[in-house]
Structure 1
C-alpha cells in the first residue's frame, strides 16, 4: 500500500493484515502526539471496519504520509573472527588405546563379570573356597594394566 490518504487503487478490498497495519500507523500517530486517545479509538474502529482501501483515506487525510522512516544509526561492532579448525591427523571414529583395540576393550568390560563368576564358582564348589576366592577380584585391575598399561608410553611419544 503506497499511502493511506491517497491509495493507488481505492476500490481494492483490504485484507485483515492491511487493516491491522493501518491501526498500527494510527497508534504511531497517537504516540507522536498527532491524535488524542479518543480520536485513536474512533479511527481504529473505523479502520477495522473498512472494506476497501478508499475507506481508509478519510482516516489518514489530516496525517502526514505513513512512509517508513530511516532507522536510527547503530553502533557497529567489529566482526568476529574465528580461528581455523585444525585438520584431524587421525581418521575419524573411535580410537582405542587398548592392547588389541576393541577386543581389548571387550575383555576389560567383561573382566568384572568373569571375576564375579570365579568368586562364586570357587566359593561354592571348592571346600573352604570363600576364604581365598576374593582374590579373583584382583583380576580386574590386572586386566586393566595389561590391556591399557602399554598405551601410556606410546601416548607420550606422539
Structure 2
C-alpha cells in the first residue's frame, strides 16, 4: 500500500490504478469515520483529477499512515530439507562435535591416534544421508 503522505517519487505521474487505490483508501477512511461523506466526495474528486503523486499528498495529510503488514512467521522445521526435519538438521549441526569427541576417546582408550581420524568421515557421511539425493523428494512429500 502506498504512503500518499510521503511518496517516494512525488513528481512521477499517476496511473488509473494508483488513483483508484487512493479512492479506495479514502473510502476506507470514510467507513472508519475519519472523514465525512462530503469530504470523501471532495477528496475522491481531487484524487480522480490528480496527475502526480504530490497531488495526492494534501488528500492524506490529516489521515493516519498505513501500517506495514507484519511478515508471516514460518515454521522452518517443516520446510527443512533434512531427513527428519529439524531433528536431522540438529544432528548434522552436532556431528563435528561428535566426531571430535570420538576422535579423542579413541586416542586415549584404544591403540593411540593412528585410526582416530576416521571418525571425521562421519561428518560427510551424515551429510549425505541427511541432505543427500532424494532430500527434495522427501521435502515434497512433507
TM class by shorter-chain length?
A: 0.3 to 0.5
Q: Which has the larger radius of gyration?
A: 1
TM normalised by structure 1 equals 0.42
